[in-house]
Amino acid sequence: MALSSPTLIFERPIGLSMIPILKFPIRSRRRVVAWAMLGFATLALLAASKVRAGIFEEGDVLMVQGAPGVIHFNHDPEHADYSWLIGAEWQSPSRWVAGAAYFNNSFDQKCQYLYFGKFWPLEFIDSNLYFKLSGGVLLGYKEPYENKIPFNHNGVAPGAVPALGYRFGDFNVQVNLLGTAAVMFTAGYDLFK
- Per residue in 34-53, pLDDT tens? 666 666 666 655 555 544 45
* Residue 75, in any domain of the structure: yes
Residue 130 above 50 pLDDT? yes
Question: CA distances (Å), 149 to each of 54, 153, 158, in order?
Answer: 38, 10, 9
- Residue 18: per-residue pLDDT: 42
pLDDT band at 16 (very low <50, low <70, confident <90, very high): very low
Q: What is the DSSP string of the chain?
A: -PPPPPEEEEE--TTS--EEEEE--HHHHHHHHHHHHHHHHHHHHHHHSS--TTTS-TT-EEEEEEES-EEESS--TTS-S--EEEEEEEE-TTSEEEEEEEEE-TTS-EEEEEEEEEEEE-TTT-TTEEEEEEEEEEE---TTSGGGSTT-BTTEEEEEEEEEEEEETTEEEEEEEETTTEEEEEEEEEEE-
* Residue 83, in any domain of the structure: yes
Q: Is the distance from CB of 193 to CB of 56 less than 8 angstroms?
A: no
pLDDT digits (tens, 9 = 90+) for 97-118: 999 999 999 999 999 999 999 9
pLDDT digits (tens, 9 = 90+) for 142-168: 989 888 888 988 889 999 999 999 999
- Over range 89-96, report the average pLDDT: 93
What CATH number does residue 118 fall under? 2.40.160.20
- Residue 33: per-residue pLDDT: 63
Q: Mean pLDDT for the chain? A: 81
pLDDT digits (tens, 9 = 90+) for 55-90: 567 889 999 999 998 999 998 889 888 889 999 999
* Residue 8, in any domain of the structure: no
* Residue 42, in any domain of the structure: no
- Residue 49: per-residue pLDDT: 53
Closest CA to 43 of 95, 88, 103: 88
* Residue 172, in any domain of the structure: yes
Distance CA 111, CA 37 (A): 12
* Residue 50, in any domain of the structure: no
- Residue 75: per-residue pLDDT: 87
Share of the chain above pLDDT 70, in %: 71
Residue 17 above 70 pLDDT? no
Print the domain residue range for 91.
Answer: 58-192
* Residue 137, in any domain of the structure: yes
- Residue 146: per-residue pLDDT: 87
- Residue 147: per-residue pLDDT: 87
Q: Structural domain tally of the chain?
A: 1
